[in-house]
Amino acid sequence: MSETFINTLKSVEYGKNVMLNLFQHLDKTKTYETLNQVQGDKKIQIVDIKQHIFLNIISVYKKFLSDSGALKLIFVFSFLFLIFLFNPRQVVASDFTATTIDDYGNITVMEVEGNYDARLSDGTLNEGPRQAIAKEFFRLHKDEYDFLVIFTNFDFQMPAPDTRAFYHPIKNDTKGIGQEIFDNSGLYGSDGRLQGIIDMGNISSIETNPLEAGFEETLTNLSHELLHRWAAYVRFMDEDGNVSTALLGKDASHWSYLLDTDGSVLYGNDWQDNGDGTFTSVSTRKYYSPLDLYLIGFIDKDQVPPMLLIENPSIDPAQLPEKGVTITGQPRYITIDDIIAVEGERIPDASNSQKSFRIAFILVTLPGTFRGDEVYELEDLRDEWITRFSVLTDGQGLIDVNVIPKEEIPENPGITPPETRPRTLPPDIEDGVNWLITHQEIDGSWVAIEQTTDRDTAEVVLALKNFEIARENYNRGLQWLDNVESGNMDYLSRKAEVFADAGRDVTQLIEEILSRQNSDGGWGSNDSYTSNPMDTSFALSALALSGYRDNEVILKAIEYLKSVQNSDGGWGSNDEGSTIQVTTNVLMAFNRYRQEYQLDDRIERGIAWLLEHQNPDGGFGNSPSTVYDTALTVLTLREFDISTDITNRGLNYILSNQSGSGSWYESPYQTALAIKAVWKATVDPDLSIKSDDITFTPSTVTTLPSDVVISAVIWNLGRTDVSRARVVLYEEGTINDASKVAEQVVAIAGQASTKVTFSVDIKDGNQHIYYIVVDPDGAVKESNEQNNSATKILYPESTHDFEILSGDISLSASTVSMFDNVTITSKITNRGTTDAYNVQLRYFIDDPDAPYEIATLTVDIPAGTTITHEYTWKADRAGTDIPVTVEVDPFDAFTEISEDNNRATAYLTVEESTKPNLSVSYRDIVITPSPAEELGNAIISVKIKNNGFSPASDVNVAFFMGTPGKDGVSLGTRTIGSLSPGETKEVSIEWQNITDSGERIIYVRVDPDNLIPEIKEDDNDAFTTLRILRLPDLAITTNSIKFSPSAP
């Protein structure tokens, strides 16, 4: 170490600054736990440890100023070691690299090397790789993203064995949600915008096909992890004034199993109170609860209803939700004010909170493993998640998943296409054909520049063959080619290809090509020229199209092309780097021989290289995009049946660059290639359906059952008519015969559409997932099989609608006598979409002048079902055509679609009686004294009523000990001379010299011999119990007598 450096370090000011920088550096090494999980004293303790280290370093530094040179040197090295020691991120990040491959559609693909496990060996979060990926992303993209979602194509260790995905918080600037304020976005390459990262794991372990059952779980997991940005961390103030965490469950970052969250994706359950101390979970992991929406910032605190929290110490609040289970417990209700009392109000509130979020999907791959099809899977997931988030937030929330490259990224400008007159009409290849027709030379050729006339004419002739309108021009072009001598291999091979395609004799042309093959198996640009991949691939294609099959010639050419394939998978001109024109030419040649020769690995590598060179505008080019490179790539990829979003974006680029004249850049060659590419992509049928093409009528279900008409527009994007195609509607589950609802067979003309409709009967209030699949068995040969299915979810609105109609109430008899039993039977239907519990059912006589209540009970009415309820009424009100009425939800406890169908009436005649009716009740029996005593006396008194309609005379009242006719003993009889209607009289007897003891029944029977005709006889008996105390019984025996003394 130089003395100059030592002297500089001795400077007090410099040393002070170094120490302060070290302390600042230490402060940036706060752990993930400190930032996001540790609160209060623990965080202070960690900071204090750093301060302690700092103070010790300062003391060492003071000693440094007076130490010898050797000690100074030791201190410097120790100081540098401390910087290294307290910078774990640098250590980790240096072992992990992330390199962008490209943006494909809305997906960014990277290649990574290093340890991507969620945690390091010491258990701390492995932040370095996430930071490296984020920094690499923001190196090429604008800092306008709120979240990054990372998928991998490899397995790595999750935070826990059962973890499917996890959220990595980076920033929180929201108060009142149970989290501290922090901002670590700078460590991830963002200047305060990035809020968090979601790790979704290996794409092969999650379902990305919307038509498979597991896709719902993938959407739920994404929505779950995003919700971790705001939940679940809040505490509340309990009734004793203590801060409680009872709302929290698993890992203290999910809702408690015992909390009614309306089935939140962040756990908890949708608990139904059964009214008997038990609770049943009716839904789990489906929605964002009102509390979730408040914490995110979508609704105001006044919109959060009280939340049921079940108290049961024997149940673990951290267990996962489970539908259908029933538990016991004490209900307790937590309000949003209880939460605000601890956490404070949410700032910003719902009126000022963020509602739209930009998110990036990033696929990280191991070197050399990116296939390309993963991108399409993620595009499907992206589309569905955008819709799902909108649904979860009641249409208030928007997520935008796309790529926004930096504008200032320097690029190789490449070849600048010539300016053309802008096109105002929609793109149309027929216009391109007309332009070629009108720009044919008198001799039959097409000329851009004289040197490329052979090439341009050959390509135009190949393109015009497909159009009857250009038949004459096609033949004139063939004639011109027949009259011209093609000197180099490019033109000679093209001429052979054109003539072979036209069915002409190409024997001489093939012989000329064969004569020019070099000893290494390749061809040069002319006879005896050095071999190159471009001319070799031209020659090989011409041989294939002509039907030439000499294995020795062909194998040598193939081996040559294999030997010059670049390490990146592409081909170039000799020692130059890979280019699109050469790579596509070789791939087209290989495709013609892939059945006879082992070429799949070479082809796959070449296609992978091509896919890496699609630009954000959808086109292809070595930089920037060009029409000819894009057309050649699309033609090549279509040959390999890669009909995907990638090629469709390429086609869109081609069509978007058509000029007002109909040409592409006024070039016969580019126009011909563009026409060939679009024709190739659209000549075959292309049956297509999108989610936006599916509609429901009505758009939502409010009553059950409901007939819903599902309409779908089916497109044939190709040019060839389809005479017969099956369109099948599936519901729920997987696509198989078991879940098939209906199907139709349709015919669709080329580049036209047709509409199909299906009628379905909705009988429950659940969401219904419908899949419409066109040509499910692949009977129609299409240019693109990736757009044959679409999904649409019908979300019923949560409603109640109780209905009882006039025909839904019946009586066991239409005419009865007073006090006869009448059974009232009613049928009640819940036509709403939501189950209803503890619904009141009122039975009454609907007399405007004198309404009469019969009974009010509660019933449960599941959605879309009809229940039958019976009640037996003892008719105690006389009248003719009494309106016996049943009313459901009489006090409007439920909000309903209609309140006009809640009652029904049946008419009953209750005939008045002229008979008396004698009755007695156990309540009117009085015994004095009570308890009585054995051998004592007791007075038994009873009140007898006549609640009939005529007087009764000579009414006998019999008293018994015990039950008459069984063990009863008569105690006597008393007679009431007369008893008028409505009159009550008391009679009594004296029970003398009671000889029993213990518990005894005292029984009273009115009119025991049934001498008096009455309205009813079942109320003439009553009894009560009497305890009779036993008398003392003194006894003496001979043995108990003793003499003292025993003898005088």
Cis peptide bond upstream of 418, omega within 30: no
- For residue 607 the two structure tokens come to 């296609």
How far apart are alpha carbons 864 and 894 in whole angstroms? 16
Question: C-alpha distances in angstroms, 310 versus 227, 696, 826?
Answer: 23, 39, 35
Over the stretch 648-682, which tens digit does the pLDDT of each residue have? 889 999 999 999 999 998 999 999 999 998 888 77
Q: Check residue 45 and give its pLDDT.
A: 35
- Other CB atoms within a 10 A radius of the CB of residue 70 amount to 8
pLDDT, one tens digit per residue, over 502-533 is 999 999 999 999 999 999 999 998 887 889 99
User: What are 328's strand-pairing partners?
Assistant: 278
Task: Band the pLDDT of 367: cuts 50, 70, 90.
Answer: confident
Residue that the structure tokens 């070479």 belong to: 602
- pLDDT, position 35: 30
For 545, the token pair is 């199209």
- Closest by Cα among 394, 395, 393, 397 to 357: 397
* 605-626 mean pLDDT: 88
Greater confidence (991 vs 4) lies with 991
Rounded Cα distance, 202 and 158, in Å: 10
> Please, are residues 318 and 293 in contact by the beta-carbon 8 Å criterion?
no
DSSP string across 363-388? EEE-TT---SHHHHHHHHHHHHHHHH
Distance in angstroms (rounded) separating the CA atoms of residues 335 and 346: 15
Using DSSP, state whether 408 is helix, strand or coil: coil
**Predicted pLDDT at 259:** 95
Which parts of 92-223 are beta strand (E)? Answer: 97-104, 107-113, 147-152, 166-169, 171-172, 182-183, 196-202
The predicted structure's pLDDT at residue 407: 62
Q: What is the pLDDT of residues 210-246, one digit of tens each?
A: 767 688 889 999 999 999 999 999 999 999 999 999 9
- Cα dist. 242→25, 308, 661 in Å? 39, 19, 78
Strand partners, 998: 1028
Euclidean distance between CA atoms 231 and 179, whole angstroms: 9
Pick from 311-325, 385-399, 903-917: least confident: 385-399
Q: How far from the centroid of its chain's Cα atoms is residue 425's Cα? A: 41
> How confident is the model over 83-96, as a mean pLDDT?
48
The highest-confidence range among 56-60, 574-578, 766-770, by mean pLDDT, is 766-770
Taking alpha carbons only, the member of 787, 808, 1026 closest to residue 904 is 808
pLDDT, position 76: 47
Percentage, residues of the chain above pLDDT 90: 62
What does DSSP assign to residue 210? Answer: T
Q: What is the C-alpha separation between 543 and 555, in angstroms, rounded?
A: 12
Using an 8 Å Cβ cutoff, are 1043 and 990 in contact?
no
Confidence class for position 918, pLDDT limits 50, 70, 90: very high
Q: What are the tokens at 889?
A: 């939800």
Q: In the structure, what pLDDT confidence band is assigned to residue 63 with cuts at 50, 70 and 90? A: very low
CB 701 within 8 A of CB 863: no
> How crowded is residue 796: how many other Cβ atoms within 10 Å of its Cβ?
23
* Residue 714, beta-bridge partner list: 754
Calculate the alpha carbon distances from 257 to 223, 273, 282 in Å. 19, 15, 13
Cβ contact 782:775 at 8 Å: yes
What radius of gyration, in Å, describes the C-alpha atoms of the chain?
46
Note whether 900 and 1000 are within 8 A (CB): no
With H, G, I as helix, E, B as strand and everything else as coil, classify residue 972. Answer: strand
Residue pair 363/151 in contact by the 8 Å Cβ criterion: yes
Paired tokens of 731:
């519901």
Report all structural domains of the chain as residue ranges with CATH numbers, in order of start. Answer: 3-86 (no CATH), 92-228+356-401 (no CATH), 236-334 (no CATH), 429-682 (1.50.10.20), 687-791 (2.60.40.10), 802-911 (2.60.40.10), 918-1029 (2.60.40.10)
Check if the beta carbon of residue 88 is closer than 8 Å to that of residue 121. Answer: no
Query: φ and ψ at 770, to 5 degrees?
Result: -110, 135
Report cis status (omega within 30 of 0) of the bond before 931: yes
Please name every residue paired with 945 in a beta bridge, in sequence order, or none if there are none.
919, 984
Q: What span, in angstroms and rounded, lies between the C-alpha atoms of 562 and 606? A: 11
Locus of tokens 């029970």: 991
Q: How far is C-alpha 958 from the chain's CA centre?
A: 77
The answer to whether the CB of 878 falls within 8 A of the CB of 818 is yes
Using CA atoms, how far apart are residues 261 and 245, in angstroms rounded to an integer? 15
Element (H, E) at 1027: strand 1021-1029
**Whether pLDDT at 31 is above 70:** no
Query: Has residue 942 got a pLDDT over 60?
Result: yes
Q: Looking at the DSSP assignment, which residues form a beta bridge with residue 65?
A: none
The Cα–Cα gap between 868 and 808 comes to 9
pTM, two decimal places: 0.45
* Measured distance CA(861)–CA(867) in Å, rounded: 7
Q: How far is CA 289 from the centre of its chain?
A: 14
Of 55-69, 207-221, 459-473, the least confident: 55-69
